[in-house]
């Protein structure tokens, strides 16, 4: 039942207007440890490329990280300065790849929401995104 509600919220979050840059299916996962992660899809329907510079969450330090898993099974994260989104393309920030890490994410609680500001080279906008439980997160992973 909860996944249905979250899925609806994700659909609604995807419907902003104006710029050719749209953020969809954005959600944060309740933290298991000190830090939490935000995942999202960015669609650039414009004819020129853009770049996600940072995602800001009031009261928290955030970083864009990229996880890579090597052939011998070693997972590592590294910070990235920004993420390019080519014209007419969609970039998925997904588990095991790119994500926005919220440091010391105490207070990011399941079933709440947070206000996130997405800063691109061409401009920025703010959206509320849901904070999902680990169980809901697993359901979302299965659907990807």
Partner 1 sequence: MVLLVSGLVAGLILAACSTVAGSGDIDATGRFQGVELSEPTPKPSFVLTDTAGQPYDFQASTQGKLTLLYFGYTYCPDICPVHLAQITSVLDRNPPLRENTEVIFVSVDPGRDSPEVIRNYLDGFSEDYIGLTGSMDELRTAEEALGVPAAILGDTSDPDYLVGHAAQVFAWAPDGLGYTMYPFGTRQSEWAHDLEVLANLGGER
Q: Which residues lie near partner 1 (CB under 8 A)?
A: 3-4, 7-8, 10-11, 29, 31-37, 63, 65, 67, 69, 72-79, 95-96, 99, 101-103, 105, 134-135, 137-143
With respect to partner 1, which residue has the nearer C-beta, 112 or 123? 112
**Distance (Å) of CA 64 to CA 19, 47, 99, 117:** 22, 25, 6, 13
Six token digits for residue 118: 């997405």
Nearest-approach distance from CB 124 to partner 1, in angstroms: 23
Please list, in sequence order, all residues whose beta carbon lies within 8 angstroms of the beta carbon of residue 144, skipping any fewer than 6 positions away: 94
Q: Say if CB 69 and CB 59 are below 8 A apart.
A: no
Q: Say if CB 36 and CB 102 are below 8 A apart.
A: yes
With respect to partner 1, which residue has the nearer C-beta, 36 or 42? 36
Nearest-approach distance from CB 95 to partner 1, in angstroms: 6
With respect to partner 1, which residue has the nearer C-beta, 4 or 45? 4
């Amino acid at each position: 039942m909860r996944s249905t509600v979250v899925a609806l919220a994700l659909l609604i979050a995807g419907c902003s207007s104006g710029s050719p840059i749209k953020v969809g299916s954005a959600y944060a996962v309740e933290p298991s440890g000190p830090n939490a992660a935000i995942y999202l899809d960015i669609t650039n329907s414009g004819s020129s490329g853009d770049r996600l510079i940072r995602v800001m969450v009031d009261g928290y330090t955030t970083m864009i990280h990229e996880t890579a898993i090597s052939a011998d099974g070693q997972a590592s994260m590294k910070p990235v300065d920004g993420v390019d989104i080519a014209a007419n393309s969609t970039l998925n920030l997904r588990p095991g790849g790119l994500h926005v890490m919220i440091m010391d994410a105490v207070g990011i609680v399941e079933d709440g929401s947070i206000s996130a500001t997405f800063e691109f080279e061409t401009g920025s906008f703010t959206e509320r995104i849901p904070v999902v439980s680990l169980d809901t997160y697993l359901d979302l992973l299965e659907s990807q």
